[in-house]
Amino acid sequence: MNRNVRLILVPVVLLLASAAFGQQRESSPVEFQRISDRLFQIAGGRGAQGGVYIGDNAVLVIDAKMDEASVKQVIEGIGKLTDKPIKYLVNTHSDGDHIAGNRYFPKTVTFIAHENCRQEFFLPGRNGAPSPWSTPELAPFVPSVTFTDRMDLYLGSQHVELRYFGVGHTTGDTVVYLPEEKTAFIGDQIFLTRTQLIHSYKGGNSFEHVKTLSKMLDTLEAERFCSGHSDMADRSQVANHIEQMKQQQAKVKALMEQGKSVAEIQSQFDQGQSRLIESVYNEVKSGSAQ
Ligand SMILES: [Zn+2]
């Protein structure tokens, strides 16, 4: 091995080692971010950001983290805020980082999701592995209450709206809207610093996604949007996200009209956008880009 090659290899090995270490790293502690006396975003731990809403007589949790230690911290944290029982847990969609922790909540909790989300619980993984949710041990933690368009929950005098605006990131993304706080928990329907994930293998669709998000903005008077993996956003940030996706879709379409292959098109975007660009390409090709 000549000297130049060795000099290049050392940093590469260090990078690989730090990447492997990063994956084993302890997750940050669960953190409750106050929105109002009743409403908190739950960040940290393993799994996506979610939330908790404390009603007059019961507590609603939004999304479930993904391991026992994180759920324990969530339950302990709620116990410090209130002695009211956790009555409902809404899964905003079927991704593991939002649902895997269901199993560590008490069986007395009622799990709620959109009907399509419940069905996605039983889909094989992207790698074809069978869903763990079909086993009897996990059956009590699969959503037992579903809705298709809208559901209203009343925690005493507090009102919570569960809304469905259409296909997008998956086929069953729920928006949990707290009208008093003008705050919407929208799961993974926006990513502000990373590329939007669209789960084609679950039936997600990027063109439907922009329509679904536009409908949400038009329908709700929300001023604050809490999501799984980004900082809280305002209306203009959601509108920008929609606009950016439209521009990406238009660019893919234009390049396809020039006869470019998917790899050629991907090379004109950042590498991190490859999967999204492939989804957009496939949607245009299959005619599901309306
Ligand atoms: Zn997520």
Ligand 1 centroid vs 259 CA: distance in angstroms?
34
pLDDT, position 3: 46
CA distance 201 to 189: 16
The alpha carbon of 5 and the centre of ligand 1 are apart by a number of angstroms equal to: 40
**Amino acid of residue 66:** M
Are 153 and 162 within 8 A, CB to CB?
yes
Sequence letter at residue 52 = V
Neighbours of ion ligand 1 (CB under 5 A): 48, 95, 97, 188, 228
Decide: 26 and 67 in contact? Cβ < 8 Å: no
Q: What is the pLDDT of residue 290?
A: 72
**3-class DSSP state for residue 48?**
coil
Query: Could you tell me if 61 and 51 are in contact, meaning their C-beta atoms sit under 8 angstroms apart?
Result: yes
How far is the CA of 68 from the CAs of 29, 45, 51, 72, in angstroms?
A: 13, 10, 17, 6
pLDDT score of 185: 98
Task: Find the 1 Cα to ligand 1 centroid distance in Å.
Answer: 44
Position 282: which residue type? N
Note the pLDDT of residue 25.
53
Q: Outline where DSSP puts E strands in the chain.
A: 31-34, 39-43, 50-54, 59-62, 86-90, 110-114, 145-147, 150-155, 158-164, 174-178, 183-185, 224-226
How far does the centroid of ligand 1 lie from the alpha carbon of residue 250, in Å? 26
**DSSP state for residue 104 in the 8-state scheme:** G
Q: How far is the CA of 2 from the centre of ligand 1 (A)?
A: 45
180 Cα: distance to centroid of ligand 1 (angstroms): 26
Per-residue pLDDT of the chain (290 residues; tens, 9 = 90+): 444 444 444 343 333 333 333 344 568 999 999 999 999 999 999 999 999 999 999 999 999 999 999 999 999 999 999 999 999 999 999 999 999 999 999 999 999 999 999 999 999 888 888 999 999 999 999 999 999 999 999 999 999 999 999 999 999 999 999 999 999 999 999 999 899 899 988 999 999 999 999 999 999 999 999 999 999 999 999 999 999 999 999 999 999 999 999 999 999 999 999 999 999 999 999 988 77
Measured in Å, residue 102 CA sits from the centre of ligand 1 at 14
Q: How far is the CA of 98 from the centre of ligand 1 (A)?
A: 6
